[in-house]
Structure 1
């Protein structure tokens, strides 16, 4: 086993990943949060900062997850999780919600992924390892319709295989759409040079991160 594989480091927790992404969202942006880890982001945007969270089932202006004794059973996001509504929030028809997406009205979408390629391709809806692949849902609409796409995911799969790759081997959700990736090991921009590492988990070196990444990594110029 190489030194790159045995070096001690502390991966970011899912909470820390969400906090890191939340800190980067500018004031006033309209943002869709995909099912899974991305939904945690709504819990970590300060209440004094106006970020308008959208859910494709027809919610605009979501707040953080409710306390267990404050759950409104009729208020859920697209992932069927209970949510809250911030002051000024609203509901709309499913078709109107998708008109916001397809009309280019969202500043940002944050999705999970199975793979992201260094040219920005994203595969997040199926692995094709069996004949019961789930439906793509709204992911293709969001990847194509939002002004920018970020990904929040674990750096490697459960079997240790890299999720940041030279070329996606799973069915694509969208080509060339991803602009930034937040993982439990690093924050990485997708640029014309490929993957550019902005920061890494404590104790991690570029060599160690590269050992867990299929595509070539670069440092900022």
Structure 2
């Protein structure tokens, strides 16, 4: 089994984003997607703190300390890009103007519920931030995360054990092992990392899986 690296996961997500979409990248590994959008494809990247037209990470030594994403990482702007008040940014989100939001998560349930925040002081995301607005306001939500926790527990589950961010919001999940769509029959497997089998994936997934690689 040869799991995808986070960089490869980001490339896989970027590959699937259609021309012309307005896309919000959530805090954490989703921000890596900005580095992999093909330059010939017009995808307008949004950050909830008030950036539109975000580009990839800057070259080392050329960071602008005043230009950061919602995760406080230095970013760049494409020609024509802009930054503005976060109230205007959330008006875009709540107004349904974002085609896609890519979020990280602790867990995703078989029905599309997402949990990506917690209240424990030991967790790295102690507050929900703008994720609830994004999950409710974006036209579609994709999740990008590791398939299991550091101690091997599945993150694709029948029902989330963490506090919910949103119910039935997730359409697709990208992990280091597979690409899966949320369907009424369960998680439909659209792609597998090299060396990963469907049976092997089932052994680290706590929710129904169906072979969806042939489906559209």
TM-score normalised according to structure 2 size: 0.95
Distance 1:132 1:28 in 2: 33
2:80 corresponds to which residue? Answer: 88
Distance 1:154 1:19 in 2: 15
Distance 2:22 2:38 in 1: 15
Structure 2: unaligned runs, 5 residues or longer:
none
Between Structure 1 and Structure 2, how many residues are aligned?
213
- The Cα shift of 1:192 comes to 1.6
Instruction: Indicate conservation of the 8 Å contact 2:108/2:160, yes or no.
Output: yes
2:202 counterpart (207, 210, 213):
210
CA offset digits 1:169-213 (Å, max 9, x no partner): 110000000000000000000012120001111111111100000
Instruction: Indicate conservation of the 8 Å contact 2:120/2:126, yes or no.
Output: no
Instruction: Indicate conservation of the 8 Å contact 2:178/2:189, yes or no.
Output: yes
CA offset digits 1:58-89 (Å, max 9, x no partner): 11000000001211111000000000000110
2:150 counterpart (155, 158, 173):
158
Structure 1: unaligned runs, 5 residues or longer:
1-8
> CA 1:98–1:124 in structure 2 vs 1: closer, same or farther (change >3 Å)?
same
Instruction: Give 3-state SS (helix, strand or coil) of 1:142's partner.
Output: helix
1:6 corresponds to which residue? Answer: none
Distance 1:207 1:47 in 2: 37
Runs of 4+ in 1 over 2 A off after TM superposition: 127-133
1:15 corresponds to which residue? Answer: 7
1:36-55 equivalences in 2 (<5 Å): 36-55=28-47
2:21 corresponds to which residue? Answer: 29
RMSD: 1.5
Choose 1 or 2 for highest CA Rg: 1
2:49 corresponds to which residue? Answer: 57
- The Cα shift of 1:130 comes to 6.5
TM-score normalised according to structure 1 size: 0.93
> CA 1:52–1:133 in structure 2 vs 1: closer, same or farther (change >3 Å)?
closer
1:199 corresponds to which residue? Answer: 191
Instruction: Give 3-state SS (helix, strand or coil) of 1:68's partner.
Output: coil
Instruction: Indicate conservation of the 8 Å contact 2:108/2:156, yes or no.
Output: yes
